[in-house]
Amino acid sequence: MPSFPSPRHLLPDRDAALDLIKWLALLTMLIDHLRHAWPSLYFLYVPGRLAFPLFCLAIAANIARPTSSSGVSMRYLGWLLLFSLVSEWPYRLLVSNAESLNVMPTLVLGLLIANAVQRSDIQARWLGAGALAVAVLAHEWLMFGAFGALLPAAFLLALRGSRALWLLPMVCCLAANYWAPFYADAARGDPFAWSVLSMCFFAPLLGLLLLRQQPPFAVPPVRRWAYVFYPAHFLLLVALRSL
């Protein structure tokens, strides 16, 4: 496994900057999904583009920590797999016309691919190769597609290398959010389309900058309750929509 210097934000102790990233990911995810309960809030799609790249950055930062040298935690992977299944029904209740699975399967594949980039043992490499193959074959059914599954690995390379590599997750995030109508609207100069594309491109940069700056205030830790929050917030929004 290649060695690289451990920045201050990757020390084994609890990292307030990483917890802040997780809080922002959860908050922007909730903000994004409000538009499914109240369609008039469609403009929240713009800040909602922050959520997925921040979740991917959190995965990459966890894998890059010195304490993860033994590989991806099976408990970590197990929680993601469990809530990939648990969350699908609540997700379909809120987004009845969904054309993809909920975001958890994409994160599971992204975790395995990034772990294969981090480690050199044969098991990690085979699991990563299998995850990449699944991401490519299931591209149409994955939220954010194959590029979404590659985003944690892109973040990991950015964390391990020079700042020039920060462009890698920025481009990958833009590709993961590709939707032809937005590009057609952007070509016509539509401000909303340009806002969406700009947010997709610069969200990884914002995350990387935040991760390297310890917040000047206390940040409550984000623990396993966050897994439950994902399907629970779908059910809450469904209940609020029916009022």
Q: State how far the alpha carbon of 110 is from the alpha carbons of 6, 7, 80, 96, 235, in Å.
A: 22, 23, 11, 25, 26
pTM over 0.75: yes
How many beta carbons lie within 10 A of that of residue 23, not counting itself?
16
Least confident span in 5-19, 116-130, 183-197: 5-19
The length of the chain in residues reads 243
Tell me the pLDDT tens digit for each residue of 159-216. Answer: 998 899 999 999 999 999 999 998 899 999 999 999 999 999 999 999 999 999 999 9
The Cα 87–Cα 12 span in angstroms is 30
- Count the neighbouring beta carbons within 10 Å of the beta carbon of residue 158: 24
Residue 3 has pLDDT above 90, yes or no: no
Give which of 107, 113, 110 is closest to 126, Cα–Cα.
113
CB count within 10 Å of CB 105 equals 24
CB 50 within 8 A of CB 77: no
Average pLDDT, the chain: 92
Query: Looking at residue 4, what is its pLDDT?
Result: 34
